[in-house]
Structure 1
């Protein structure tokens, strides 16, 4: 353990160093001036600082005050002083001193106090090491859980792909668009990542949609559309019982991504900011990519046509802030589209509505 001793009197440095030399596993670093001692302490690890109060260039109080780090987390500081002034002691304690010794130094008391303070330092360091280890283990366990959640999400999303004419590239694009919107809205990085990971589950409820409706190449009848719309509630019902936060977010997205900002959406007709933000984000990302993707029942819209559709429906179908966020990153949108392009799905001019 490193004990730093600072005293402008050489004989005092020699005396205290020899006394501390009697302790096992301890080495001393001595300074006759405060500034080099301060510089050393702020750039090297140390376990106990023994400092004289009265020094010519910088007194002990100022040195303690200029030590880096939180005083509550620093190693102990033992101040040696000939002053009995209570105010000096109070100021020293406020600056981070742990204990005091009154000159002239009593050898027995000096050894006892330094030994006790070093034992305290060892115990504190051991607890800090244990706390860091536990934090690392918790982080590892949390990461493993998140990996399992993401694996579950991707497996369920892949299962729904087998029955849905939408491609896996659509899942990737709309997830990336969703994260782009979340980032532009200023959401914390972890929330951005959560939305990115949960977005692929938005249509998992389509596993409960009959094939003759899900795969129908033409327009759906009103009755068929009513059945198709049940997929939002079905997806929510599949996911809602999970205790995993990621799957709970996926359940919320599944339920709300077909709600409309003006309250005319489904399944519950929720309006405005009452719709979960993740659902409002995914609504924009999902519709935009659906418009620009070819389906058995429609041609792909151009990027500019889909962009205009978002603008025309901002405030009615879509949250205006989410639309503005996506369009503010237009270059990134094009990059995502190019990176995850469906083979042979070139965009054609839009003909009519969505």
Structure 2
């Protein structure tokens, strides 16, 4: 597929003009934030809180970083796809489904001190609990817990958010959707916790300044190295 071959070449090619930019992880996070209307940051906070509330034992700060980076691969997708106003056809969907793999490749280029769970979440956040997800069709507990948490947080924020092509759903509608997909798209145990603590999730989504008691958000500064990554900020 020519489009995909071109994209993969972009992932591994690092033009000299990008090697003189600032710290790579910080730069990547900034580029994502410029184009996603806060989606990554909200997913990160939701995921960190979900991990805390479920007693997952996972680092809340690592989950938050995973949320902020989960769609990094979309920065490498064509403008025409990201800005497409209608329903994707089969070829467009095939290209869009490369973004987890592209995101993983992007993170490998950073050579930064990134926790393993972040790599897992970036690559596997579109796997489904019933095995019908992508890129590998993993099922149930075989999907790393971090990826299951990020996948759920991603959908919660997407459902609540208004877009040019849709209005945001009400909290009641979102909870009903999660309940319907428990054991399908989502880990049923995570859904149970999300519904039980939905008001807390809404609160931390609205404001990141005052997290709930016992939850420690990601520090303001992120790990950084001297290496750079070529990422195009092509999002609207």
Q: TM-score, normalised by structure 2?
A: 0.72
Equivalences for 1:53-202 in 2 at 5 Å?
152-162=24-34, 164=35, 166-168=36-38, 170-188=39-57, 191-202=59-70
Aligned to 1:137: none
Misfit runs of 4+, over 6 Å:
none
Give the Cα separation in 1 of the matches to 2:51 and 2:127: 18
Which is bigger in relative contact order (C-alpha 8 A, separation at least 6)? Answer: 2
Residue 144 (structure 2) aligns with: 276
Q: CA deviation at 1:181?
A: 1.1
CA distance 1:248–1:239, change in 2 (3 Å):
farther
| Partner of residue 310 from structure 1, selected from 178, 196, 202 | 178
Alpha carbons of structure 1 residues 273 and 241: separation in structure 2 relative to 1, 3 Å? farther
> How far, CA to CA, are the matches of 1:243 and 1:161 in structure 2?
21
- Report the 3-state secondary structure (helix = DSSP H, G, I; strand = E; otherwise coil) of the residue aligned with 2:84: coil
Aligned counterparts of 1:303 and 1:158: Cα–Cα separation in 2: 29
Candidates 180, 189, 194, aligned match of 1:321: 189
The offset of 1:242, in angstroms, is 5.4
Name the counterpart of 1:12: none
CA RMSD of aligned residues (A): 2.0
Return the offset for 1:292: 0.6
Separation (CA, whole Å) in 2 of partners of 1:245 and 1:325: 30
Alignment partner of 1:308: what SS?
Answer: helix
Shift of the alpha carbon at 1:155? 2.7
Supply the distance in 1 between the matched residues of 2:177 and 2:85 (Cα, whole angstroms). Answer: 23
**SS at structure 1 position matched to 2:114:** helix
Aligned to 1:251: 119
SS at match of 1:334: helix
Q: Which has the larger radius of gyration?
A: 1
Structure 2 unmatched runs, 5+: 1-22, 209-236
Alpha-carbon separation, structure 1, partners of 2:96 and 2:136: 15
Once the 2 structures are TM-superposed, how far is the Cα of residue 197 of structure 1 from its aligned partner? 2.4
Deviation readout 1:131-152 (Å, 9 max, x if unpaired): xxxxxxxxxxxxxxxxxxxx75
Partner of 2:216: none
The offset of 1:158, in angstroms, is 2.4
> Deviations for 1:31-74, whole angstroms, at most 9, x for unmatched residues?
xxxxxxxxxxxxxxxxxxxxxxxxxxxxxxxxxxxxxxxxxxxx
Q: Distance in 1 between matches of 2:105 and 2:41?
A: 23
Cα deviations by residue, 1:222-243 (Å, 9 ceiling, x for unpaired): 1111111100110011113655
Distance, in Å, in 2 between the alignment partners of 1:243 and 1:260 is 29
In 2, the alpha carbon distance for the partners of 1:297 and 1:247 equals 35
Counterpart of 2:214 in structure 1 is: none
**Structure 1 stretches lacking a partner, 5+ long:** 1-150, 341-354
Contact 2:125 2:147 in 1 (8 A): yes
Q: The residue matched to 1:199 in structure 2 has which SS?
A: helix
The structure where strand makes up a greater share of residues is 1
Following the alignment from structure 2 to structure 1, what is the Cα–Cα distance between the partners of residues 110 and 80?
30
Between stretches 320-329 and 262-271, larger displacement belongs to 320-329
Q: Which residue of 1 aligns with 2:106?
A: 238
How many equivalent residue pairs? Answer: 186
Indicate conservation of the 8 Å contact 1:219/1:297, yes or no: no
Q: TM-score, normalised by structure 1?
A: 0.49
